[in-house]
Chain A
């Protein structure tokens, strides 16, 4: 009896262990791709099937792309657990500005400088995935952003996007006089109020305070040096919609689409959910004025989601072929336009969105800058501190102290 029990136990554990291993054909090469866009699952699956076909037809290799889509909330934790336990996917998405430096320093990104896709990507976008002189990822989402505004409402009151802070004050008073709320406040998710600081700070360090980041990094700077950024933040907070902390990204999009406010400090990545609520909405995009110096009013150029290759990948060559295929002259345009991503390579010839074109008019006039990375933790601290600032829990000085401290801790 006892023996039988032991035998049974061993059998159970054997079955459990062997179930963990999956079988595969030996002549098929498997490529594991980890991405953080569940909303684009179908598009990418279809696209990778094209890749499998192409490889079979042109090179006679049987490829199986295993696509793993993690929700954006948990993707980073999953990915980091994989990487640090030597179970890295062959290709994975990461944030170009925020993640590339730390991932590269930890040794998790392969050098892609020689891949053919690098010749196709626009120079300014390529720069954002370059670190330590090497190209480390294929950019997927490139952004030109400022704040969004309701074009119809601006036309109705004969307004044009302001280029200075006092012009913005004027726009605000015209809107107020007509019983319209100037700004939409959706502060429930802390990354949204943080966008105000991202834009204002970016504008300052690329015009009036070029040494700011360097000073901060050696410990001599302070956000007090660029306290002008709070002027526009104060103006927005004082002229915004009610119930800011009960409005998140989704409900904010709905409110904006329904004309609850004329402007929203928010990027074009929300255009999809805005148009879902109101397909006829005319979304405008303009640079946020920070001071009365017109030179500081600029569009932020940034790259977010990018696709990198693990240096431990057994099929690195094939992984790079997949990256090149994402910018395939024949198929890439339809993929990027169906994802509503902005064109970022010479092979992209699809019609872009009106707000992208509008942003590009500023970019072409030289009124744009490339986003620079901040030390880890600074953006998160800014996000929370600005929520507390709106709440009245923190004064301007306390916000400055909190972010300064976060920066100091990060560079220690």
Chain B
């Protein structure tokens, strides 16, 4: 047994080496920089202890970006999973063209979100006003990028478009794994469609819901490219998510790498705590066959 573990570890070694060099080492380095006042340019910097973290407590701009991110995450986790599950159920119940629809809905996932962002930027700023004029649909004529209220939904639409397909595939796989006899038994016992879905299907795909929630949670906390491509955090700072706030702190403004690293550490802690809690709660609801 011991021998087997060791050879398994060896197989993981190249990936582990790369992971350690390119992810773990910079992450630890980032924590170290968060205790300094490095500006990303000077060869020297000073150790400042937890001064950066203390400053974060009163940073209104950072707090605002945190609130915006939480709101975004809340919408994303719910909508992404509901939409993905709905699509999965619909596609699974199709008689024909299953593969076609699966491909169509999964397709946006293969496009880089920066590219997707520019596609949607064109739709929001050029196509929407055009349709608003020609078809007389007033809502399309709103300023979908320039008005902070609408800009939030624009980002949501782009993010859902890009990410729902991935979760949908996970849910399709889960649905296909449910043994057909179980469903037939339930039907023979007189359960209707809704009861079957709720009492039989739901517990059996609970592990996929855990994964779906997990993916949606941590990926939406880290959201960057969608916002960067679509609104750049604007107008003003109205749609600035945390990762964009960190980015501008480090690479624009005053190039405060140390301070930006402190923000990144806080974001990491938030994501870690929330996903851990989520996993603990959801794991309890899963059943094994």
Binding site for B on A (CB under 8 A): 2, 5-6, 9, 12-13, 76-77, 80, 83-84, 102-103, 105-108, 187-190, 243-247, 251, 376-377, 380-381, 384-385, 387-388, 390-391, 393-394, 409-410
Q: Are A391 and B236 in contact (CB under 8 A)?
A: yes
Cβ contact within 8 Å between B232 and A188:
yes
Binding site for A on B (CB under 8 A): 7, 10, 13-14, 17, 39-43, 124-125, 129, 143-148, 232, 234-238, 248, 251-255
Q: Beyond A384-B237, A387-B234, list 20 extra A-B contacts (CB 8 Å).
A: A2-B7, A5-B7, A6-B10, A84-B42, A84-B43, A102-B41, A187-B235, A188-B146, A189-B232, A243-B125, A243-B129, A245-B146, A245-B234, A246-B146, A376-B255, A377-B253, A387-B236, A388-B235, A391-B146, A410-B254
Could you tell me if B7 and A188 are in contact, using CB atoms closer than 8 angstroms? Answer: no
Interface of B is mostly: loop
Do A384 and B236 touch (CB < 8 A)? yes
Q: Give complex CA distance A251, B39 in Å.
A: 34
Cα separation A105 to B43 with both chains bound (whole Å): 10
Would you mind naming 16 contact pairs between A and B with Cβ atoms under 8 Å apart?
A2-B7, A77-B251, A80-B40, A84-B42, A107-B43, A108-B41, A188-B234, A190-B234, A246-B145, A376-B254, A376-B255, A384-B234, A384-B236, A387-B236, A391-B148, A391-B238
Contacts of A80 in B (CB 8 A): 40-41, 255
Pick from A9, A84, A391, A410: contact of B235, CB below 8 A: A391
Are A9 and B14 in contact, CB atoms less than 8 angstroms apart? Answer: yes
A391 to B236, CA, bound (A): 8
Q: Kindly list the 6 A-B residue pairs having the minimum CB-CB distance in the complex, ordered from nearest.
A: A245-B146, A388-B236, A377-B254, A246-B125, A387-B236, A377-B253
Q: A2-B7, A190-B232, A245-B145 are in contact. Are A409 and B254 (CB under 8 A)?
A: yes
Residue from the list B14, B124, B234, B251 in contact with A76, Cβ < 8 A: B251
Q: Which residue of B lies closest to A410 (CB)?
A: B254
B41 touches A393 (CB 8 A): no
Shortest Cβ gap from A238 to chain B (Å): 16
The answer to whether A103 and B41 touch (CB under 8 A), given A2-B7, A381-B253, is yes
Name the B residues within 8 Å of A377 (CB-CB). Answer: 253-254
8 Å CB contact of A83 from B13, B41, B232, B251: B41
Q: Which B residues are in CB contact (< 8 Å) with A105?
A: 42
User: Which chain B positions have C-beta within 8 A of A376?
Assistant: 253-255
A189–chain B nearest beta-carbon distance, Å? 7
CA distance A2 to B10 in the complex (A): 9
In the assembled complex, which residues on chain A have CB atoms less than 8 Å from the CB atom of B253? 376-377, 380-381
A242 to B255, CA, bound (A): 34
A residues in contact with B14, CB < 8 Å: 9, 12-13
Residues of A contacting B42 with CB < 8 Å?
84, 105-106
CA gap between A394 and B125 in the complex, in Å: 24
Q: Is the CB of A84 within 8 A of B254?
A: no
Judge whether A106 and B248 touch: CB under 8 Å: no
CB distance from A395 to the nearest CB of B (A): 13
In the complex, A100→B253 CA distance in Å?
A: 16
Q: Which residue of B lies closest to A83 (CB)?
A: B41
Once bound together, how far apart are the Cα atoms of A84 and B45, in whole Å?
A: 11
**Chain B contacts of A385 at CB under 8 A?**
236
Do A246 and B124 touch (CB < 8 A)? yes
The complex places the Cα of A83 from the Cα of B232 at a distance, in Å, of 27
